[in-house]
Amino acid sequence: MPGPPAWLCYILVDDVNRAVDTVRGRGGTVLNGPMEVPGGDWIAQCMDPQAAAFAVHARAAG
């Protein structure tokens, strides 16, 4: 496949919604989510103010 590497760092958090609020409050952008993924976990894909992409991931309660 042509193109740059396509990897994404995931950061485990306790609460995706709180993490998304922090991202926005510090000048970042939420690109996708928060959304539930198979198994009940929650993720959101984000970009920091310097344009570095990352995602946050909270495990399903239980």
Interatomic CA distance for residues 25 and 29, integer angstroms: 9
Fold of 10-58: 2,3-Dihydroxybiphenyl 1,2-Dioxygenase; domain 1 (3.10.180)
Question: pTM of the prediction?
Answer: 0.86
pLDDT 10s digits, 14-36: 999 999 999 999 999 999 999 99
What is the residue-averaged pLDDT of the chain? 93
Provide the token pair at 28.
């970042």
SS3 of residue 30 by DSSP: strand
Interatomic CA distance for residues 24 and 55, integer angstroms: 13
Q: What is the pLDDT of residue 1?
A: 64
Domain ranges of the chain: 10-58
